[in-house]
Structure 1
Amino acid sequence: MRRIRLSSIVIRGCRISVQFSRVIAQSFLSSSKEGIMGFWDLLVVASEPVVQVMLIGLVGAFLAVGSHAILSADALKHMNKVVYVVFTPSLIFASLAKTITLGDIISWWFMPVNIGLTFVIGGALGWLVVKLVKPEPHLRGLIIAVCSAANLGNLMVIVAPAICSDNSGSFGETTRCHSRALSYSSFSMALGGIYIWTHTYSLMKNSGKIRIKMLEYGDLKDDAQEKQNDMEAPLLLPSTSSAAIDGSQKLPEDDAPQNFFERAKESTLQIAEELMSPPTAGVIMGFVFGATPWLKTLIIGPSAPLRSVFDAISLMGNATIPSITIILGGNLAKGLRKSRLNLSTIIAVMIVKLILLPAMGLVVTEVAVRLGLLPKDPLFRYILLLQYTNPAAMAIGTMAELFDVAREECSVLLLWNYLLSALALTLWTSFYIWFLS
Structure 2
Amino acid sequence: MGLLELFITACVPVFNMLLVTGVGSFLASDFAGILGKEARKHLNSIVFYVFNPSLVSIYLAKTITMESFTKLWFMPVNILLIFIFGLIFGWIVIQVTRAPAKLRGLILGCCSAGNWGNIFLIVIPALCKEKGSPFGAPDVCQTYGLSYSSLSMAIGAVFLWTIVYNIVRATSKVTEGDGDAQSNQTKVSISGSATGTFSEENCSNSNDHTNESTLPLISKNMPPNKYKIPLSERARIFFSRISGTVDLKKLFAPSTIAVIVGFIIGGTPLIRNTIIGENAPLRVLQESAELIGGGAIPSVTLIMGGNLLNGVRGGASVPPSIILGVIVVRYILLPLLGTGLVKGAVRLGLIQPDPLYQFILLLQYAVPPAMNIGTIMQLFGVGESECSVIFVWLYALASVAVTVWSAFFMWTLST
TM over 0.5: yes
Could you say which residue in structure 2 is the equivalent of 1:267?
242
Cα distance in 1 for partners of 2:247, 2:185 equals 34
Cα distance in 1 for partners of 2:18, 2:354 equals 32
**Contact kept? 2:310, 2:388, Cα under 8 Å:** no
How is 1:336-347 mapped onto 2 (pairs within 5 angstroms)? 336=312, 337-347=314-324
Q: How far apart are 1:292 and its partner, in Å?
A: 1.6
For the pair 1:92 / 2:56, whether they are aligned, the reply is yes
**Contact kept? 2:275, 2:281, Cα under 8 Å:** yes
For the pair 1:319 / 2:280, whether they are aligned, the reply is no
Task: From the superposition, tell whether residues 224 and 247 of structure 1 become closer, same or farther in structure 2 (CA, over 3 Å).
Answer: closer
Structure 1 spans left out of the alignment, 5+ residues: 1-34, 226-242
For the pair 1:333 / 2:297, whether they are aligned, the reply is no
Could you say which residue in structure 1 is the equivalent of 2:20?
56
Q: How far apart are 1:356 and its partner, in Å?
A: 0.4
**Contact kept? 2:116, 2:364, Cα under 8 Å:** yes
Q: Which one-letter code corresponds to 2:148 in the other structure?
A: F
How is 1:23-422 mapped onto 2 (pairs within 5 angstroms)? 38-66=2-30, 69-157=33-121, 159-160=123-124, 174-175=136-137, 179=140, 182-200=143-161, 203-204=164-165, 207=168, 213=174, 216=177, 254-255=198-199, 258=214, 265-268=240-243, 270=246, 272-336=248-312, 337-397=314-374, 406-422=383-399
Cα distance in 2 for partners of 1:51, 1:169 equals 16
Cα distance in 2 for partners of 1:150, 1:277 equals 17
Q: TM-score, normalised by structure 2?
A: 0.75
> Which has the higher mean CA deviation after the structures are superposed, 398-407 or 129-138?
398-407
Q: Which one-letter code corresponds to 2:16 in the other structure?
A: Q
Q: How far apart are 1:435 and its partner, in Å?
A: 3.0
Q: TM-score, normalised by structure 1?
A: 0.72
Which structure's CA Rg is the greater one? 1
Query: Tell me, what secondary structure is at the counterpart of 2:69?
Result: helix
Task: From the superposition, tell whether residues 246 and 280 of structure 1 become closer, same or farther in structure 2 (CA, over 3 Å).
Answer: closer
**Contact kept? 1:204, 1:403, Cα under 8 Å:** no
Q: How far apart are 1:62 and its partner, in Å?
A: 2.1
**Contact kept? 2:87, 2:112, Cα under 8 Å:** yes
Cα distance in 2 for partners of 1:47, 1:265 equals 49
Cα distance in 1 for partners of 2:375, 2:289 equals 20
Q: How far apart are 1:160 and its partner, in Å?
A: 4.5
Q: How far apart are 1:44 and its partner, in Å?
A: 2.8
Structure 2 spans left out of the alignment, 5+ residues: 200-210, 218-233
CA RMSD for the aligned pairs? 4.0
**Contact kept? 1:153, 1:185, Cα under 8 Å:** no
Cα distance in 2 for partners of 1:293, 1:145 equals 40
Q: Which one-letter code corresponds to 1:409 in the other structure?
A: E
CA offset digits 1:176-217 (Å, max 9, x no partner): x86257425522432432332443466347747987825537
CA offset digits 1:384-408 (Å, max 9, x no partner): 2122122233344555567766444
**Contact kept? 1:53, 1:325, Cα under 8 Å:** yes
Query: Tell me, what secondary structure is at the counterpart of 2:174?
Result: helix
- The structure where helix makes up a greater share of residues is 1
Q: Which one-letter code corresponds to 1:111 in the other structure?
A: M
**Contact kept? 2:148, 2:357, Cα under 8 Å:** no
CA offset digits 1:35-69 (Å, max 9, x no partner): 7xx44432232233333333222223222232662
Cα distance in 2 for partners of 1:390, 1:197 equals 17
Query: Tell me, what secondary structure is at the counterpart of 1:216?
Result: coil
Task: From the superposition, tell whether residues 320 and 275 of structure 1 become closer, same or farther in structure 2 (CA, over 3 Å).
Answer: same
Query: Tell me, what secondary structure is at the counterpart of 2:333?
Result: helix
Q: How far apart are 1:328 and its partner, in Å?
A: 2.6
Q: How far apart are 1:344 and its partner, in Å?
A: 1.5
Query: Tell me, what secondary structure is at the counterpart of 1:213?
Result: strand
Cα distance in 2 for partners of 1:365, 1:198 equals 20
**Contact kept? 2:311, 2:392, Cα under 8 Å:** no
Cα distance in 2 for partners of 1:407, 1:315 equals 35
Query: Tell me, what secondary structure is at the counterpart of 1:338?
Result: coil
**Contact kept? 2:14, 2:403, Cα under 8 Å:** no
Could you say which residue in structure 1 is the equivalent of 2:406?
429
Cα distance in 2 for partners of 1:81, 1:152 equals 19
> Which has the higher mean CA deviation after the structures are superposed, 62-71 or 381-390?
62-71
Cα distance in 1 for partners of 2:195, 2:302 equals 33
Query: Tell me, what secondary structure is at the counterpart of 1:427?
Result: helix
Cα distance in 2 for partners of 1:73, 1:250 equals 40
